[in-house]
Amino acid sequence: DDYQQLVFQALNNKRGNIDLLPPSILKPVKLWSGKQIISTIIKNSTPKGMPHINMNGKAKLNNKHWCVVPARDWNYGGTPLKENELSESEVLIRQGELLCGILDKNHFGATPYGLIHCMYELYGGVCSTTLLSSLSRLFTYYLQWEGFTLGVRDILVRAKADKKRAKIIHECREKAGHEATAAALELPPTVAREVLAKRMQEAYAKNPKFRAILDRKYKTALDTYTNRINNACLPEGLISKFPENNLQLMVQSGAKGSTVNTMQISCLLGQIELEGKRPPLMPSGRSLPSFADFDTSPKSGGFIDGRFMTGIQPQDFFFHCMAGREGLIDTAVKTSRSGYLQRCLVKHLEGLSVQYDMTVRDSDGSVVQFMYGEDGMDIAKTQFIANSKQTRFLDMNRDVIVQKDVLQRLKSSNDEDPVNEALKKHVKKMKRWAKANGDNLSVRKTRSSPFALFSADKAEALRTSLPKADKLKSSGRTKLTEKLVKQWNKLSGADRRQYAKRTAHCPDPLAAIFTPDAHFGVLSEKLDELVRNYKRTEKPLHNIDELMQVKGSGSLAAPGEPVGVLAAQSIGEPSTQMTLNTFHFAGRGEMNVTLGIPRLREILLFAGSNIKTPTMEIPFLPHRKPERLKAVAEKLRKSLNRVTVADVLENIHVKSKLVVVPSHGMLYTIRFNFLPPDAYDQDYCVTPAAIIRHMSRKFFKAMFIAIRKAEGARNVLIDTETGEKKTGKRGKLNENNEDEQIDEIEPSKRNKKEKGVYSDSDSDTDADDSPGVDADASEAKIKHKTSDEHGYDDENENDESSSDSGASDAEDPPDADPKKDATESTTGKHKKKDSSSSKSTQQQGLEEALIEEYEKEQEKMEQELAERTAPNASKVNETEEAQFLQHLDKQIETYQIDRVNHRWCQIVLHMSLKLKEIDFTKLFREVADRSVIWEVPRIKRAITYMQNDQLYLKTEGTNMSAMTAHAKVLDLNRLYTNDIQAMAKRYGIEAASRVVVKEIQNVFSVYGITVDPRHLLLVADYMTAGGKFQAMNRMAMEYSASPLQQISFETSMKFLKGALSKGMHDRLESPSSRLIVGQPCRLGTGAFTLYSSALKDYADAATQ
C-alpha cells in the first residue's frame, strides 16, 4: 500500500507504534491523500503526551499561480471568504492535521514562522530535527516514484510573444538611448545624432558628474522596456504554463533558482552594471572598440537585449564577463575585510556573558549592561512573543506552552514572596493611572509640571490684556512670564494641589522596580502594550495574560549565555553579504554617505571624529504657513552651500606676449569670465559683486602663492637637470639661455614635477616635497607594513586610520623614521650628483623661506587694508580694488572689472621669462577649486526634503555650533548626525550610544539585512561603557585586564614586552587566557561549578 510505504520510509527510525490515519476515501477503494501523509508524520513527530500543533500560515505559491482564468461570479448564494482563504495558498493545521494548503519553501526552508520554526518554538530542537529528517527521507523516496526534470519546452516562448518582444527591442534600440542622452543634456528628443554626440563629448570633458546623471536617465528609460519584455514573455508567453512547466514550478515553490534566472533565459539579460554604474567609456569615447565614439545606443552602455535561450553577441558576452569578474574580485576582497572585522569584534566581546543577577559583565567583572537587551530576553526565544502577528499562534497553542502544574507552582512561589504585596499595589496604581490617562505610550512619556499646566491655562487670556506681552525685560523674562509667576505665587495651596494632581507622573514600569527573574508576571513595557493591543483588536481564546507571563518567564536569557560572541557573530557574518561602499541619498548624486564594510570599519574599528562623509539631519520647527517655511528653508539651504571660485567661473582667457620694456619678460593678460547670476542663484547665496571683491581680496593672493611655488619647483628642476647634463655625454649647456634649458627638459619629468607641487589641494605644501622623496617614503611605509610590529596590514589599508582612535593603527613605530629612510634612499640613488643635489636642497629651502615670508607679509597687509568679504555685497569700487592689488604684488600692471554687471575681471601681469613653460590656465583652475568665496565651516552643501509631512535639512558636513544660530527655525532637540564623536561631545555619551545602534542598522538595512537590536545595543554599550566612544582595535585592547587576551589579539611581542616589564598578572578569567592554559571557558555550562553529594560521600569515606 502506497500510504503505508511512504509513511514507513519517513518514520523508519521511530521507536514504538506509528499512529496512522483512517483513509479519506472509503468507497469504492480506500485511498489516502497526500495531506494525510504529511499529517501522519507531524503527529508522530510530536512528543508523546503533548498536544498537537495548531497553526495558520501562507505558502510561497500564491493563489494567482493556480488561477488560469479569471474567477467567475457566484451563480447561487455566495461566500464571505476572501482571496486566499481556504485556497491552496493558505496553510491550515489543526491538532496536527494538514487540512488546507501546500507546504513549500515557506514551511520547509530557512524561513521564519514556517512549520519547522513553529515546531521548534513549541516542542524544541529535537522534535523539529526529527520532523525535518522524516520529511527529507519522504521526499527522497518519493522522487524515485515521480522524477523531476527540466526540458527545452519549459523555456520556449510562443511565436506571438516572441514577435512582441522583437518589436519592443527594436523600439528600444532606436529611441531609448537617444532620448535618455537628450534628457541628460536637457535637449529636445528631436536633436540630430551628430549634435548629440558632440554635446555629449563636451559634457564628459567639463562636468565630472555627467556620467552619474546620464546613468540615471538610462536606468529610468531602460527599466520601462525591460518590464515590457518580461511581461510579454513571462508567464503568459511561455509555451508550457505553470504547474506543467517544471522550471516555473521549481522557481515559484522556492526549491531552486529565482525569477531573474528565468527572465535571463527566456526574455533578456538586461543592464550590466559595474559597481552600481554602467560600463565606463575609454578616453576615445567608446565603451568597446566595436562601437562608435560617444555612441548613444543602449547596447554600447552594457544593456544586453539578448537572452541565453537564443544566445548573445560577443560584445554582450564581454560585458557579462566584466560583471562576473567584478563579483569574483569583490568576493575575494571583502572576505579579508569582513573577516578581520569579525575577528576584532569576537576578541573584544568574547568575555561578555549574562550573570545570575541579570547583568551583562565582562570577564573582569565590569558591568556593561544592567539588563541584557534592556529587557533580559533571549533573542532565540523571543521570535514569537515579540511579534504581534504571532500572538494568535501562541494563543491557539496555549495548552502546549502553559502547563497547569507549572503555572500553579509559579503563582504559589509569587504568593510566598514578601515583596508580592508591593508588586500588587504597584500594578493597581498603574491601572488607575491608565484608566485616567489612557494606555497611549506617548501620553505616558509626556512630562509636565503644575506651573506649566497653570501657564497653559492662563497664558492666552493674559496675552490679550497685556500690551507687548512678549517683550523681554531686563530680568531676561517677558512681561507675560513675570505676570504668570506673580499669579502662581498668589495661588492658594488647595489650587496648587489640584494642578499637581492633574500633572501626576506615570508610575514607573514593573520591570524598573521588580526583576523579571525573581517575580513572576513582570513583563517589559513592550510586551504589556502588545497584550493590551491583542485584547483590543482580537478575541482571545484563552487567558492571554497568564500565557504571556509564562512565555515571558521562559524567554529570559539564561545565566552564562555568551552574548558577546553571539553579538559579534550576528554583526560579522552579515557583513560578508555587503558589496557597495557608498549609497546615494534619495537618488541625488551630490549627497553620498559611506556604507558597507568601510562604514562599519569607521564605526567599530576606528571610532574617530574624522569620518569620510559626515552629515547632519535636522527637522524644521512647524509653522502655520508652509509656504513661508519653505522660503526660509530655501534661503537657509543656500547659505549653507560652500561656494568656490570654480563654481561660478565660466572660463579663463590667458594671452601672453614678449616685452622688453621696462625689462625682459612676458606680459600676461588674464581675463576671468563668470557665469550669469541666474545660473547659480538657485544654489548659492553670493552676488556678482561679492565674487569680484573676493577675486581682488583673496583669490589673487592665493594665485601668486601658487605661481611662486611653481617657480620654485621650476628652478629646482632646471638646476637638477643642469647637474645631470654636466656629468653626462651631452657636454656643456649655454647657461645664459634659460629658455633652451627649459625646453630640453623631458616632458614626462616636467609633468611629474608639476603634479607633485599640486598634490595637496588645500594645504600649502612645501616646495621641497618632491616626488622622489614621496616615493622613497612610500617604499619605507610598504616595508614597514610587512614588519611584525603591525601584524595586520588590512587594518592599515583604510583611509580612516588617520582618525583619532585609529591613528595608532597606521602610525610609524618609534624606531622607524620615513624621512630618514627616504633621505638615505635618495642619497644611495644619487651618489654621483652630490654637489647638484645639495645645491638643489639649498634652493628649495630658500624658496620655502621666501614663500613663508611672503605669506606673512600678505596676511599682515590684508588685515590692515581688507575687510571680510560679505556674500551679499552689491557694489564694488574698481579704484579701491586696484589700489589694494598694487600693494599686493609689484608684478601687477593693471586691473579692470565689469563695472555694470560684474561678469568679468581682468588682470595684467609682468612675469619672468622663466615662467613661460607653466600652464597658467591649469594653475588658475586649481587655485579656483580651492579658493572659497563663502562657506560655513565644515559644511560643504545642504539639501531640504520632505518626509512624513515634515521638512528636513540635511547637510554634507557637520557644524552643530553654527546650527544654533538658526534655533528659531530648526528643531535642534531632534538634530541627528552620523558623526558619533561629535554627538558624544555635544549631547552626551548616551546619545552617542543610540547613534551607534542606528548607524549600524542603516548600514545593514540597505542590503535588506536585519540584526536584532539587542546585539547592537550590547556592542554600543560596550564601546561607550567607559564614558567615551572607544573603538574595538589595538588601542582599546590595551585597556584589557588580561595580558594573555592582549597577546592573542595582535602585535604579540609588543603586549608581551609590556606585560613582562610591568609585572602584570592574569587571573585566567577571559576565554582566551583559559584556552591558552587548557581550561574550559567560564561561559555557558562552564559558568558554574557542580557540587555532587557523591563526591562528598567519597571524600568522607577516604578520611575514615
Tens digit of each residue's pLDDT (9 = 90 or more) over 288-304? 999 999 999 999 999 99
Q: What is the pLDDT of residue 465?
A: 81
Instruction: Give the Cα separation of 269 and 313 in Å (integer).
Output: 12
Q: What percentage of residues in the chain have a pLDDT greater than 70?
A: 83
Q: Is 451 exposed, middle or buried (0-12, 13-18, 19+ CB in 10 A)?
A: middle
**Phi/psi of residue 98, nearest 5 degrees:** -80, 110
Say if strands 360-361 and 353-354 run parallel, antiparallel, or are unpaired.
antiparallel
Confidence of residue 363 (pLDDT cuts 50, 70, 90): very high
Of the candidates 686, 691, 688, which has an alpha carbon nearest to the alpha carbon of residue 645? 691
Higher-confidence residue of 757 and 3: namely 3
Q: What is the pLDDT of residue 725?
A: 38
Q: What is the pLDDT of residue 413?
A: 77
User: Is 755 within 8 Å of 926 (Cβ atoms)?
Assistant: no
Alpha helices for 46-86 (secondary structure H): 63-66
Instruction: Give the Cα separation of 521 and 344 in Å (integer).
Output: 39
Cell numbers for 207: 562636468
Instruction: Give the Cα separation of 980 and 996 in Å (integer).
Output: 7
Higher-confidence residue of 769 and 218: namely 218
Residue type present at position 720: T
Q: What is the pLDDT of residue 714?
A: 59
Provide CATH 1.10.150.390 ranges for the chain: 1040-1103
The answer on pLDDT for 53 being more than 90 is yes
Higher-confidence residue of 1065 and 832: namely 1065
- Nearby residues of 212 by Cβ (< 8 Å), 6 or more positions away: 277, 589
Confidence of residue 160 (pLDDT cuts 50, 70, 90): very high
Provide CATH 3.30.70.2850 ranges for the chain: 643-715+840-934
Task: List, for residues 223-275, the tens digit of each pLDDT value.
Answer: 999 999 999 998 889 999 988 999 999 999 999 999 999 999 999 999 999 88
Instruction: Give the Cα separation of 932 and 4 in Å (integer).
Output: 84
- On average, the pLDDT of the chain sits at 81
CATH 3.30.70.2850 fits 643-715+840-934, yes or no: yes
Q: Which of 480-489, 545-554, 831-840, 1060-1069 has the lowest mean pLDDT?
A: 831-840
Instruction: Give the Cα separation of 410 and 406 in Å (integer).
Output: 6
Q: Which of 673-682, 753-762, 854-863 has the lowest mean pLDDT?
A: 753-762
Q: What is the pLDDT of residue 65?
A: 83
Instruction: Give the Cα separation of 335 and 851 in Å (integer).
Output: 48
The answer on pLDDT for 63 being more than 50 is yes
The answer on pLDDT for 380 being more than 50 is yes
Whole-angstrom CA distances from 900 to 645, 689, 747, 1000, 1065 are 20, 10, 44, 54, 80
Provide CATH 1.10.274.100 ranges for the chain: 1-67+84-147
Q: What is the pLDDT of residue 58?
A: 92
Confidence of residue 746 (pLDDT cuts 50, 70, 90): very low
Q: Which of 73-77, 141-145, 968-972, 1057-1061 has the lowest mean pLDDT?
A: 73-77
For the packed helices 210-233 and 193-206, what is the interaxial angle rounded to 10 degrees?
130
Residue type present at position 876: V
Q: Which of 835-844, 878-887, 922-931, 1018-1027 has the lowest mean pLDDT?
A: 835-844
Higher-confidence residue of 478 and 827: namely 478
User: Is 935 within 8 Å of 685 (Cβ atoms)?
Assistant: no
Q: What is the pLDDT of residue 280?
A: 92
Q: Which residue has the cell 592574569?
A: 1066
The answer on pLDDT for 865 being more than 70 is no
Q: Provide the CB-side half-sphere exposure for 893 (13 A, CA).
A: 15
Confidence of residue 46 (pLDDT cuts 50, 70, 90): very high
Instruction: Give the Cα separation of 445 and 127 in Å (integer).
Output: 44
Mean pLDDT of 815-819: 38
Q: What is the pLDDT of residue 68?
A: 74
Mean pLDDT of 523-528: 88
Q: Which of 281-295, 593-607, 718-732 has the lowest mean pLDDT?
A: 718-732
Mean pLDDT of 895-923: 85
What is the architecture of the domain spanning 1-67+84-147? Orthogonal Bundle (1.10)
User: Is 182 within 8 Å of 291 (Cβ atoms)?
Assistant: no
- The DSSP annotation for 984-1050 comes to HHHH-HHHHHHHHHHHHHHHHHTTT----HHHHHHHHHHHHTTSS---SSHHHHTT-S-HHHHHTTS
Higher-confidence residue of 872 and 1094: namely 1094
Residue type present at position 102: I
Q: What is the pLDDT of residue 591?
A: 64
Of the candidates 732, 754, 119, 735, which has an alpha carbon nearest to the alpha carbon of residue 384? 119
CATH of 1040-1103, one of 1.10.150.390, 1.10.260.40, 3.40.50.620, 1.10.3720.10: 1.10.150.390
Mean pLDDT of 306-331: 92
Of the candidates 285, 291, 296, which has an alpha carbon nearest to the alpha carbon of residue 196? 296
Task: List, for residues 678-731, the tens digit of each pLDDT value.
Answer: 888 888 989 999 999 899 888 988 998 898 888 776 555 444 444 443 334 333
Confidence of residue 440 (pLDDT cuts 50, 70, 90): low
Task: List, for residues 118-137, the tens digit of each pLDDT value.
Answer: 999 999 999 999 999 999 99
Whole-angstrom CA distances from 343 to 346, 569, 572, 1011, 1033 are 5, 9, 8, 18, 10
Mean pLDDT of 321-328: 90
Q: What torsion, rounded to 10 degrees, do the Cα atoms 526, 530, 531, 533 define?
A: 140
- Nearby residues of 124 by Cβ (< 8 Å), 6 or more positions away: none
The answer on pLDDT for 106 being more than 70 is yes
Q: What is the pLDDT of residue 330?
A: 82
Of the candidates 723, 840, 725, which has an alpha carbon nearest to the alpha carbon of residue 772? 840
Cell numbers for 614: 559626515
CATH of 154-312, one of 2.120.10.30, 1.10.132.30, 1.20.1600.10, 1.10.1740.10: 1.10.132.30
The answer on pLDDT for 488 being more than 60 is yes
Cell numbers for 1084: 555557558
Instruction: Give the Cα separation of 347 and 568 in Å (integer).
Output: 9
User: Is 640 within 8 Å of 939 (Cβ atoms)?
Assistant: yes
Task: List, for residues 184-197, the tens digit of each pLDDT value.
Answer: 998 999 999 999 99
Provide CATH 1.10.132.30 ranges for the chain: 154-312
Task: List, for residues 446-465, the tens digit of each pLDDT value.
Answer: 677 888 888 888 888 888 88
Q: What percentage of residues in the chain have a pLDDT greater than 90?
A: 48
Residue type present at position 430: M
